[in-house]
Amino acid sequence: MSVLISRRKQRPSSASAALQSHNNYQQITIDDMRPATSISTSRSHRSYNRNYQSPVTSKTRTQHNNAINGWTSIAPLETNSRAQQRRVTLSTLHDVSKSTATISRPRSAVSSKIKLEEYINLDHLHILKSAFDANATKGRILTKKEFISIFGSLAGLQGNNNEQIELLFMKIDSCCNDYISWNEFCTYMQLEYAEKEDAYLHGKEVAFSVPAITSSTPHREQFLRILNTSDNNFVIMSQDGMITFWGPDLKLKRSRQITHDVTKSKSKWITDFTLMPQYNKIVTATGDREIQFYEMSTFEAYCQISGLDSVPLKIDYWGSRSSDTCYVLYGDVQGCINVIQIASAGETLRTWKKSPKSDGIASVNLEREVARSSNIRFTRWKVHNDWVGQLNYYESIQSVISCSNDDTNALVIGSLQSSTKVDSQLREVYFSVNNRPRPQQSNYIMGSQPKRRSDSDQTVFKIYKGVKTFDFSKQKNLIVTGGMDRIIRTWNPYVANKPTGMLRGHNAPINYLKISSDEGRVFSVSTDKTIRIWDLQDHTCLHIVRPKAHKIRGDIQVAHYNAQNRTIAIATDLLASMTLKCKTVVVDMATSHKEAITAIKYNSSFKQIVTASDGSVVRVWDIETGNLLFEFTQAHGTSAITAIMFDSSGRRLITGGRDGCLRIWNYNNGHCLRILKKDGRNQEISDIAYYTQNKNKHIVCVGWDKRINIYNDNPGDFRYVQPPMPYWADDTLNGHRDDILSVTACSPNLLATSSYNGKVIVWNLVSGHVFCRLQVPCNDSQYKSGEQNAISKIAFLAARINDKLSAMLISNGPNGFIYFWNIYNGGSIYASFKATDFDEIVAIAANSENTRLFTADIKGFVGVWDITTYAAGGKEYMPPDVLCSWRAHTQNITSIDLIEYQDAIATASTDCTMRLWTYDGKYIGTFGQQESWDIYDSTTYQSPMVPYDVLVDPQSLPNHPVLNEKKDMIEIAHKNSIAKAEKKKLEANSDSQVQHSDSISHQLIIYEKQRSSDVDQFPLY
């Protein structure tokens, strides 16, 4: 097994000054072919580690480049075992929007999302080179103003505003020098074109799962054909009449011997079969010159057509879905094409069923009952000079295509209906004027020599050594043929003189071809058991499966490709199948990556948001539409990316990975500018910060090495691999003793780090000394016994940094708590509150005014808190007001970032999606969804809908008394009526008590009177 796609051994770091023009094209990536990322070090006792649930032809290079425009997308594929170089992609993904609809935007926004560099041609490059050469005394450089002026005057680019040209200048000038050189311009453009071509080829990669799945069969004779039913089961028949039904997993479901003549010693010899799904019938052609119909459910003989002129070899069927009309077609040993057109198929079959039986089956004669029936039209054409090898009827062109091994009539496309009289008269005039011999034609008489079609009714393809197999696609307007000469030819069905392409590579005769129009591929099988997949766009071989790979024993007899489940079935002595490697596409949920997203960061300079995944993939998205703009893969080889950060200019991206390295990128073209790493063993990086101090720029990273690594960011440093600056003495002696999980910087001179053991240290960036130490209160009663105290996220409230009486640092903590810290006077907790009902808050962010706090938890819930005055003048003992909350994902949220100019928040999760929301929880959309949005037009938002996975998840249900208090549903439904009944009962009880009280009082009065009377009558002495 191999993939015939060339790859560069290493990525160029610069480009030559000489550039060639490339045709512009857009690329759709298939990133399932990437190798899996390396497995991280096992640290099961640490919850923060990463508990993610990641889900050749003779064409010239010019022809190849020209073919690139407008190619269609291919379904995503699984990982290939080969190690691959890093690739870059420009444009949208398979499940990502391909819409090019114009979106109305404010004047301040970039009006066109098509990259300006896509319009540059060779003439433009010559003009630009001349402009750079004119500044030879300055070093062949152009300033921003000069570049905008010259670029804006180029032919065909005048319609682009200066803002677009300025953005292009910023992309090239990643070092913020305010000028660019000719070499820098060439490097950027060379990487743009070279990487797009590499990504284009990568996107076409495809592979079968090998070795093949095999199963023994009850068949003892040669297989005739493999068909698939509507439920993706395979149907196979052999020459002895044995028919079997197989599931997609090659489990035998049914088998039956359908033909057996009781008057003879052995069964009839079957030559071919097909299915009539509308009438639940099986149609077979026999060596006794019969066409037989069987019930598909019971395999019982239904009827047969006997008395055919010759032995039928190949049979086909077509049935109308709107009317009771069908065609039964067969090709015979005389090279004739026979068509039985049945107008009332159901009634006709029932009539045939009542015919006299012959050999135990109802039989009708072709000449007496069939050809002369009012509901049937029988046509017989002499088409080939050799046996018919294959025939198929295509309703889309209302023609029959057949083939044979004869050179002169190798492939014929013939109409079912004869041409009109006008066509015949024009033909007569043509032959008379040109004095050419007329083809011999005669009316068909049963048993006589069959007539030939008029030349106007057929198209004849003359192919060397004939055709053994073919396939036709109306969608692609294409015919492919193969035969004994081992060459696959592609044809325009209306041009028979010359093929449009020739695919060479097979070393044995080709016996099966199949066009997969939706995938843009051709599948071919040769007699030496080699299977090839070809690309229709470029006419290149994408994949080869050789016998040593699929391990199918025996000679190939028949093959069949099922496009619905992307499985090819091959019958030799055994039955075998192979399935294309592909990932199941969940139509209910759009995804932004194929792996868990680990970090996101918004770039306000370009209005783009960058995502990084567990698969070491970096993607650049347009925040205004949600479309994918750019992608580069294997940024850290096979190691996952764990953190990302922009430099102060927003033109360079800094990524950190599990390999312990930092890489600086011009992320607009995927050019790695520098690698930052320590000498010796490197451990996983957890977080990155960037700060500027006295015009000196520094990059800070922390991780599992328990140290603060600071790198000097000097664009003038010529070293490609740069080590960190020396450690602070206080960091070495008094720093963290456990893994550092988060770092954040705040102007002018503060840096904060947090670790797994619940400690936060605030540092003075000038001296490198500890400013204060903060510790989560481990003994507080709010914590569970043995609960981990890891603080994985911290953030400064920059607007409060000069207010010594306020809390200016926020962190998460165990059990879903949020802490507000004051860092002065040794540091203290100003407030703490539980922000989630679940175990952990995993992401926090505050807006620039420090009026809102955004939190995200491990179950995908997002909360927005009003912190305008919270802990601003002293300690707080109550939580802040909740402005709103909603569920954004069903899995762990890994990162959030704010798009403040639009009051929006982006959330990323291990469910492979990044979603955009408004501050009040309205769902804008998922990056990578089919429909683009316009961030300036709320009518294009997905709201009031919510993501499907969130909608159906039980934990998304709101609070309900039945769930919370375990009340009976009937009690909830009749709450009002029950309340009224109880009220009446209370009132009735009250009245009864009053009446009872009056009765008792009356009885007491009577008793007292009676007692007084008794005392008078019987006085006591």
Coil/strand/helix, residue 347: helix
What is the side-by-side order of every strand in the sheet holding 841-846? 841-846, 852-857, 861-866, 881-887
Per-residue pLDDT, 54:
38
Pair 560, 227: CB distance under 8 Å: yes
Q: Which two tokens stand for residue 808?
A: 């200016």
Calpha distance 199→90 (Å, rounded): 8
pLDDT digits (tens, 9 = 90+) for 128-147: 888 888 877 777 788 888 88
Give the mean pLDDT of 294-317.
92
Radius of gyration of the chain from its Cα atoms, rounded to whole angstroms: 39
Higher pLDDT, 118 or 261: 118
pLDDT value at residue 489? 95
- The whole-angstrom separation of Cα 885 and Cα 5 is 50
Lowest average pLDDT, out of 617-621, 691-695, 766-770, goes to 691-695
Tell me how far apart the alpha carbons of residues 482 and 513 are, in angstroms, rounded to a whole number: 7
100 pLDDT more than 60:
no
Judged against a pLDDT cut of 70, whether residue 75 lies above it is answered with no
Give 853's pLDDT tier (boundaries 50, 70, 90).
very high
Residue with the bigger pLDDT between 349 and 996: it is 349
Q: What is the pLDDT of residue 933?
A: 93
Residue 438: predicted pLDDT: 53
Q: Does pLDDT of 982 surpass 90?
A: no
Residue 426's pLDDT is 67
Main-chain dihedrals φ then ψ at residue 924, nearest 5 degrees: -85, -45
- Pick 644 or 838 by higher pLDDT: 644
Q: How far apart are CA 317 and CA 390, in angstroms?
A: 13
Beta strand 376-382 with 361-365 is unpaired
- What is d(CA 73, CA 487) in angstroms, rounded to the nearest whole number? 26
Centre a 10 Å sphere on the Cβ of residue 1015 and count the other Cβ atoms it contains.
10
Of the listed ranges 31-35, 116-120, 133-137, 445-449, the least confidently predicted one is 31-35
d(CA 550, CA 552): 6
| Structure-block tokens of residue 784 | 């569970």
Measured between alpha carbons, how far is 193 from 196 in angstroms, rounded to an integer? 5
Tell me the mean pLDDT in the region 278-283.
92
Dihedral, CA atoms, 615, 618, 622, 625, nearest 10 degrees? Answer: -10
What's the whole-number mean pLDDT along residues 310-314? 93
The 3-state DSSP class for residue 136 equals helix
Which two three-digit tokens encode residue 664?
A: 């600086």
Q: Is 177 exposed, middle or buried (0-12, 13-18, 19+ CB in 10 A)?
A: middle
The number of beta carbons lying within 10 Å of the beta carbon of residue 855 is 25
Nearest to 99 by CA among 934, 667, 923: 934
pLDDT, mean over the chain? 79
pLDDT reading at 818 higher than 50: yes
Tens of pLDDT, residues 352-390: 999 998 888 999 988 877 877 788 888 888 999 999 999
CB 390 within 8 A of CB 403: yes
Asked if pLDDT for residue 667 goes beyond 90, the answer is no
Look up residue 998 and give its amino acid: D
| pLDDT given for residue 79 in this prediction | 35
Cα–Cα dist 844/895, whole Å: 8
Does 958 sit behind a cis peptide bond, omega within 30 degrees of 0 on the bond before it? no
Helix (H) or strand (E) holding 377: strand 376-382
Reported as a single tens digit per residue, the pLDDT across 576-623 is: 999 998 654 444 578 899 899 999 999 998 899 999 999 999 999 999
**Quick one: which H or E segment has residue 192?**
helix 182-203
Q: What is the pLDDT of residues 912-951, one digit of tens each?
A: 999 999 999 999 999 999 889 999 999 999 989 899 889 8
Are the beta carbons of 381 and 330 closer than 8 angstroms? Answer: no
Please give the DSSP secondary-structure letter assigned to residue 930. Answer: S
One-letter amino acid of 89? T
pLDDT in tens, 217-251: 999 999 999 999 888 899 999 998 999 999 988 99
pLDDT for residue 3: 36
Residue with tokens 């205004």: 624
Residue entry with tokens 């990259």: 115
Strand, helix or coil for residue 678: coil
pLDDT tier for residue 998 given thresholds of 50, 70 and 90: low
CB 205 within 8 A of CB 28: no
The least confident of 339-348, 386-395, 434-443, 802-811 is 434-443
SS (H, E, C) 31-52: HHHCCCCCCCCCCCCCCCCCCC
- Better-scored residue on pLDDT, 1007 or 16: 1007
What span, in angstroms and rounded, lies between the C-alpha atoms of 690 and 668?
20
Q: What are phi and psi of 193, to 5 degrees?
A: -80, -45
Cis check: omega of the bond before 748, within 30 degrees of 0: yes
Query: 61-68 vs 182-203: helix axis angle to the nearest 10?
Result: 80
Q: Give the model's pLDDT for residue 455.
A: 84
**Is residue 302 within 8 Å of 349, Cβ to Cβ?**
yes
869 beta partners: none
Q: What per-residue confidence (pLDDT) applies to 952? A: 87
Question: Is 60 exceeded by the pLDDT of residue 634?
Answer: yes
| Residue 663 vs residue 1015, higher pLDDT | 663
